[in-house]
Amino acid sequence: MGNVIGSSVFDLLAIMGITATTTPIAVPEQILNYDIWIMMACAVLLYIFAARKMSLGKTWGIFLSLAYAAYIYGVFALDPI
């Protein structure tokens, strides 16, 4: 599973990096104002889980699922399709 995730992350970053060196990529304002802070909070939370070698149980699973649902709702409420 680790190889699949690592390969996907590398592919995404390599393609975006190569594309960005040849053509500038426009970043929507919502990503800079809203999404980047959510991504940073998720990265910090993941770091805390990994550093403490925490086991995620049902309670954390429900909490993280509800947080994700709230994020998705917020994305569509701020910028409906």
Q: What torsion, rounded to 10 degrees, do the Cα atoms 16, 75, 48, 58 define?
A: -120
What residue type is 35 in one-letter code? D
Distances (CA, A) of 11 to 2, 14, 16, 18: 14, 5, 8, 11
Could you list the pLDDT tens digit for every one of the 81 residues in the chain? 667 777 888 888 898 889 889 988 888 887 788 888 898 998 999 899 889 988 888 999 999 999 999 988 888 887 766
What letter does residue 56 receive in the DSSP assignment? P
Q: What is the pTM of this model?
A: 0.61
Where in the chain are the domains? 2-78
